[in-house]
Structures are given as C-alpha cells and as structure tokens.
Amino acid sequence: MSMINYASREINCKIVYYGPGLGGKTTNLEHVYGKVKPDTRGKLISLATETERTLFFDFLPVDLGTIRGFKTRFHLYTVPGQVYYNASRKLILKGVDGIVFVADSQVERMEANLEAMQNLYDNMAEYGYDLTKMPFVIQYNKRDLPNAAPLEELQATLNPGWEVQEPERQKVTPNQFRPGENIIEQNAEGVWVERAHFFEAVAVTGDGVFDTLKAVSKLVLKTLA
C-alpha cells in the first residue's frame, strides 16, 4: 500500500493497469508519459519479454494539491497480458493502491477480458486484497472499432457489480464521474449492488486516458485523506 517518504514529504502510491494482452495497457501508459511535464516524471522503464512489455514510471501531479502537507507521487505499472506471465502479474500487484482494468471492447476479445478479470480477482485474493473495497476503475478501450461490443453488454459481462452488505451504504449513490448515473442502486430483484467506475476510451488517440487516470487517482487520494 502507499508509502510515506518523510525526507521528500511525499506519499508514494502504486496504480496498476491490468487486462488482456494487446488491450491497450501499454498505450495508456505511453500516452500519459508523453503528456506529463518532463520535470514532474521519472524515467519510463520497459521490461521486455518475448511477447509483452511491462512498463512503469512515476510522476508528481501538480494539480492534486497535498494531503496533510505531503505531495502525492504516483507510480504507474502495466502487467504482462499473457496468462503464462502470471508470476510477474502477481509480483507487480504487491502493495497496489489502485487498479485500472483495461478491457478490449472487441466482441471477439470478450473471453480474454473475462479470463483476465478472473485472474485479477484471484491474484488480489492471494494477497488478501478485496478488489471491491479499493480504488478500482474499468476502462473500455477501442470504442472506435466497428466490432466493438455495446456498452451495455460490456457492463453486464465485466461489471455486473457486487452486493452491498453494509446497511449504511444501502442507498442510491450518484456516480461522481458520470452525471445522471448511480454507482450504488437496487437491481430488479431489490438487491443493493455497487459497480466499479468505468470509462470509454480510444487509447491510441488519448480519448478517455486521462479521464480514467484522474478517476482512479481521486479514488486513491480519498482513501488517504
């Protein structure tokens, strides 16, 4: 989880981009890195495997203010998309503060999305992390492609929600990032359900990339406040 550097007066937070291979995780990070001011970012590190790259870099947002007098430095990571690199995936998840699941919107990639999502839940559980209790955002990437699945289908498959057990949270809660929508509401059976925040994106053009990052960053900061 987040680490405090008293010497530099910084809180270091780790955000991991998870998802199937070739879904857009690397493209997200490369776009963010290219747009962040050079004097606020660290070096972009790439660890190459035969078919995948793991990227990471850190940056200090200048517009998020401070928490108890500390600046917040975010460390962004991608995980390998291929399942046989699962050991690397698990290692990168250690100490994570926020998750961005980058889903490939193409209809034929739905099974790969589901496999990656299940793998994420499994790996988080091994560390004792509850994904439903931490900053978690889903990005539906490649929305510009003609074979992109309808948003409703993606939501039903990848973001059906989880039951809200705490009585004090069983109330309609507006989605702070999508006006007119709710993040917690009752389903048709009368069960209170919470869903992960989600965004549509076209990472190759940068559409939705910073919306996704800002959302997960705000959720992380909320846990620290």
What are the b/e assignments for 190-218, b being 16+ CB within 10 Å? eebbbbbbbbbbbbeeebbbbebbbbbbb
Give 125-156 pLDDT, tens digit per residue: 999 999 999 999 999 999 999 999 999 999 99
**Higher confidence at residue 176 or residue 3?**
176
At residue 189's C-alpha, the angle toward residues 154 and 181, to 5°, is 50
Domain ranges of the chain: 3-159+196-224, 164-195
Give 35-62 pLDDT, tens digit per residue: 999 999 999 999 876 666 788 999 998 6
pTM of the predicted structure, to 2 decimals: 0.94
CATH architecture of 3-159+196-224: 3-Layer(aba) Sandwich (3.40)
138 pairs with which residues across the strands?
101, 198
Give 67-85 pLDDT, tens digit per residue: 878 889 999 999 987 666 7
Return the pLDDT at 83.
65
Distance CA(94)–CA(14), nearest Å, equals: 9
Of the candidates 115, 4, 24, 8, which has an alpha carbon nearest to the alpha carbon of residue 78? Answer: 24
**Contact at 8 Å (CB) between 18 and 102?**
yes
Q: Which of 59-63, 101-105, 184-188 has the highest mean pLDDT?
A: 101-105
* Tokens found for residue 190: 């009368």
